[in-house]
């Protein structure tokens, strides 16, 4: 009589192939690693950004946010959208891999890529002369959040921001992938990506009047959380930004749970 | 329960206003191979997908290995193998990767390398799924269905799009499964495939089973007759008198004699035609082919037949079984 393997083995097997296929796709690599790294190197070594002080200080939180946006949202939306189109999701649905395990496998592959991105981006920034100091109280506590983040950045807030951002943008990507045709997902996710990058203070320093709008977008909120984590307090409240980011995540999960179609 | 692998009772499945399956009953014994035959849109795939757990029945019950595919899906899925019409495989993945992935879902899978060889994909391991030929895709899809040593296998049109050689290879694999005691449910358009592989055939039309039995049972019995083609417009009343059985011209030049086709009757027919200097085209006597049975069952009543895409009147190549002239 046939029996399934352990849940852990099933999740790991799925995550491993997801990761392999993501790394095999040139477009995915370009959007997940190429674009953020290119932005960092280009704007970090030239002086075209109209910022006060070191452009890297402004740039690093932004490119980390873009990297998370690329991996969680764009790459996952497109990959999952086409998996649905080609019946891969349907076929997996008849295998011992349960839906929670399927999502766990995706999450794991996103986590691996995001950790690699953050390491590469921060390493490159350091090589370019970026300086960061993680002082202040121990992370993870909400006290640090409500206090607006310790000056000089917080490693705990960085971990929280990366984690929450990855979850939220992956959920947004899956919500898109499960509802629209794969071709629309491809076009739509790239359009939304560009809009989110342009309108969220990540690379372009937007006028202060736009701050309320920036905080309300998931990308802007992530940017603010990361800016607090890597640089220090911002005009906008990090607590509000964190809640906005989490709110987008919950909304995306709720939408995906209602609209996600597993079949072509 | 141990003897019945699949039991479907009064299955109803609707999509909006369309009733795809309408009170269908089916039973498959353990180790048996059942072929579900039917025109497009008859409800074959919907029935299979209810057994696989993809669809929740609107009415009726489905049991596979004693489990409800929907409610007990987590317990059932490790024990079944599924081959979808769509393939359902990552386009940029290589065959060994896909087999390893599915293999790792099981505690005791078949060896992926051996299976790859067995389905004839040993030379295609460096080809992405999207670049495989149609036949190779089908065979990889079959291998994925088999890697977990399933007790029940569902094959939805396993040889669609294959050339004759590819079909024979797939048939060989199915026969190996049969020898291992695996229960198999397959849908097909191909009547010879059903005759080759199935222990039992269920003919499905408009959402219900209209006939079921072994291929021999379906083609035997009271259904012997004699068909022939000749000049159109022969005097069927006169011929009926000569043969002592009713004769109908079903289409211009195509005749059916509803009676036991004895050698004497064939002789009488020959003499009758000779007397009128009529040209005899094709002559077939004896039991009907499964195709005849299928076409007869799925094209009545004629009122509904017009609106469907049933292969209703293509009988030019019907002389596969029985005595050909």
- pLDDT tens track for A33-81: 999 999 999 988 887 766 666 788 889 999 999 999 999 999 999 999 9
Residue from A12, A85, A96, A263 to probe the interface with B (highest B Cβ count within 10 Å): A96
Three-state DSSP class for residue A87: coil
Q: Which of residues 82-121 of A touch B (CB under 8 A)?
A: 82-83, 86-88, 90-98
Say if A190 is an interface residue toward chain B (CB within 8 Å). Answer: no
In percent, how much of chain B has pLDDT > 70?
89
Strands B247-251 and B200-205: unpaired
The continuous run of DSSP H or E covering A93 comes out as helix A88-93
Q: In what order do the strands lie in the sheet with B225-230?
A: B247-251, B254-257, B225-230, B280-286, B323-324
Show residues of chain A in contact with B148, CB under 8 Å.
Answer: 2, 96
Q: What is the DSSP letter of A185?
A: H
CA A134/CA A141 separation, integer angstroms:
15
Say if B126 is an interface residue toward chain A (CB within 8 Å). Answer: no
Strands B280-286 and B323-324: antiparallel
Decide: B96 and B116 in contact? Cβ < 8 Å.
yes
Q: Provide the whole-model pTM.
A: 0.80
Residue from B88, B95, B182 to probe the interface with A (highest A Cβ count within 10 Å): B88
- pLDDT value of position B53: 94
| CB pairs A-B closer than 8 Å | 94
Two structure tokens written together for B259 = 């009676």
> Is A21 in Cβ contact with B92 (below 8 Å)?
yes
Decide: B11 and B59 in contact? Cβ < 8 Å.
yes
Q: Does residue A15 have a pLDDT over 90?
A: yes
- pLDDT value of position B304: 40
- pLDDT value of position A135: 62
> Is A98 in Cβ contact with B74 (below 8 Å)?
yes
Closest CA to A65 of A199, A181, A183: A199
Q: In sequence order, what are the residues at sequence separation of 6 or more whose Cβ sits closer than 8 angstroms to the Cβ of residue A59?
A: A39, A40, A43, A44, A49, A125, A203
Residue from B97, B105, B141 to probe the interface with A (highest A Cβ count within 10 Å): B105
Decide: B203 and B37 in contact? Cβ < 8 Å.
yes
Q: Compare CB distances from A2 to B74, B104, B148 and report the shortest one's residue.
A: B148
Say if A18 is an interface residue toward chain B (CB within 8 Å). Answer: no
- Cis before residue A261, ω within 30 degrees of 0? no
Alpha carbon of residue A238 to chain centroid = 17
**pLDDT, tens digit (0-9, with 9 covering 90-100), for B105-151:** 999 999 999 999 988 899 999 999 999 988 889 999 999 999 999 99
């Amino acid at each position: 009589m046939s029996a399934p393997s352990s849940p852990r083995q099933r999740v790991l097997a799925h995550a491993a192939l997801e990761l392999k296929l993501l790394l095999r796709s040139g477009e995915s690599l370009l959007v997940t690693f190429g674009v953020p790294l290119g932005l960092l190197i280009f704007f970090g070594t030239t002086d075209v950004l109209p910022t006060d002080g070191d452009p890297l200080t402004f740039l690093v939180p932004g490119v980390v946010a873009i990297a998370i946006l690329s991996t969680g949202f764009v790459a996952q939306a497109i990959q999952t959208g086409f998996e649905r189109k080609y019946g891969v999701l349907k076929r997996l649905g008849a295998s011992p891999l349960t839906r929670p395990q399927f999502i766990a496998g995706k999450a794991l592959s996103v986590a691996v890529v995001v950790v690699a991105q953050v390491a590469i981006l921060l390493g490159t920034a350091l090589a370019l002369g970026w300086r960061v100091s993680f002082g202040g109280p121990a992370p993870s506590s909400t006290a640090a959040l409500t206090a607006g983040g310790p000056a000089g950045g917080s490693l705990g807030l960085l971990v929280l921001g990366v984690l929450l951002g990855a979850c939220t943008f992956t959920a947004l990507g899956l919500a898109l992938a499960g509802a629209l045709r794969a071709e629309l997902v491809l076009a739509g996710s790239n359009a939304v990506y560009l809009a989110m990058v342009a309108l969220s203070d990540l690379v372009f320093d937007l006028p202060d009047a736009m701050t309320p709008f920036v905080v309300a977008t998931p990308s802007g909120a992530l940017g603010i959380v990361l800016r607090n984590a890597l640089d220090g307090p911002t005009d906008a409240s990090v607590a509000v930004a964190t809640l906005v980011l989490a709110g987008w995540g919950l909304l995306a999960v709720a939408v995906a749970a209602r609209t996600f179609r597993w079949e072509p | 329960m141990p003897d019945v692998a699949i039991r479907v009772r009064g299955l109803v499945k609707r999509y909006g206003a369309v009733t795809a399956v309408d009170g269908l009953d089916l039973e498959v014994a353990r180790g048996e191979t059942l072929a579900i035959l039917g025109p497009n849109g008859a409800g074959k795939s919907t029935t299979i997908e209810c057994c696989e757990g993809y669809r929740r029945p609107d009415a009726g019950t489905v049991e596979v290995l004693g489990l409800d595919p929907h409610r007990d899906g987590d317990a059932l899925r490790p024990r079944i193998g599924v081959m979808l019409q769509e393939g359902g495989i990552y386009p940029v993945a290589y065959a060994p990767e896909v087999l390893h992935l599915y293999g790792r879902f099981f505690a005791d899978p078949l060896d992926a390398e051996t299976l790859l060889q067995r389905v004839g994909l040993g030379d295609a391991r460096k080809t992405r799924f999207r670049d495989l030929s149609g036949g190779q895709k089908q065979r990889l899809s079959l291998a994925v269905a088999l890697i977990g040593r399933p007790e029940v296998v569902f094959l939805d049109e396993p040889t669609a799009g294959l050339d004759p050689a590819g079909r024979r290879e797939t048939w060989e694999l199915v026969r190996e499964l049969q020898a291992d005691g695996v229960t198999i449910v397959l849908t097909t358009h191909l009547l010879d495939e059903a005759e080759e592989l199935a222990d039992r055939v269920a003919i499905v039309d408009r959402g219900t089973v209209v006939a079921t039995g072994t291929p021999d049972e379906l083609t035997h019995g009271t259904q012997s007759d004699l068909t022939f083609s000749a000049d159109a417009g022969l005097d069927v009343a006169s011929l009926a008198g000569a043969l002592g059985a009713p004769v109908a011209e079903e289409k211009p030049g195509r005749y059916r004699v509803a009676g036991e086709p004895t050698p004497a009757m064939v002789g009488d027919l020959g003499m009758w035609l000779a007397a009128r200097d009529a040209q005899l085209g094709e002559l077939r006597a004896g039991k009907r082919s499964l195709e005849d049975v299928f076409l007869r069952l799925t094209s009545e009543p004629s009122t509904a037949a017009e609106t469907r895409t049933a292969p209703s009147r293509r009988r030019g190549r019907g002389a596969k079984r029985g005595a050909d002239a």
